[in-house]
Amino acid sequence: MKIRPLKIAGAFEITPQQHPDPRGVFLEAYKAGALAEAVGHPLDLQQVNTSVSAAGVLRGIHFADVPPSQAKYVMCARGAVLDIAVDIRVGSPTFGQWDSVLLDDITRRAIYLAEGLGHAFMALEDNSTVVYLCSAGYNPGREHGITPLDETVGIEWPTTTPAGNPLTPLRSEKDTAAPTLIEAKEQGLLPTWEECQAFYKELNNK
């Protein structure tokens, strides 16, 4: 398993080693020890979510209040998605920037996002199935969003599928109505770099 840090601190790309044979393929999709070594602490697995999306479905940008927020280890069991980590931590050196990992059922990569980061993805194929390992359960009172089409963030979403067919973004009503990054900052919804660093230190010292 190879773990590569992304340009957003606290986000990592995980590439498993696959072992194919005439029967199919075997891989270790998640290794607690390897992830803990890269991140600085274990993932406290509290909830596993699964979503199935048609091509063009755009989910996010989602985040939760810090603490405890919600760290995520995200995989695509079927199909393909472009998965995005967004730095929404006010005061961070990379505030407002993003990085991406293509998750699919060929490379079988995963992405890890630390608490306090924004998360979004676009499905590139019908029935794309995403599995999320989460460090905290869903709490609607602490969950927030930013519009994934925010020009300030400027995510370069795909316009075609891997087969070359056009993609039309399809969002939920909630994601469509979500504020921009600047609006969310003005509303006091975003975590700060300082409080996230303090929380990471607390997790690392457990």
The residues annotated as belonging to the active site are 62, 132
Contact status, residue 142 vs residue 65, Cβ threshold 8 Å: yes
- CA–chain centroid gap for 109, Å, is 12
CA distances from 189 to 88, 180, 183 (A): 10, 11, 9
Euclidean distance between CA atoms 22 and 117, whole angstroms: 40
**In 3-state terms, what secondary structure has residue 14?**
strand
Contact status, residue 82 vs residue 122, Cβ threshold 8 Å: yes
- CA–chain centroid gap for 25, Å, is 25
Euclidean distance between CA atoms 106 and 102, whole angstroms: 10
Contact status, residue 134 vs residue 48, Cβ threshold 8 Å: yes
Chain position carrying tokens 């340009």: 7
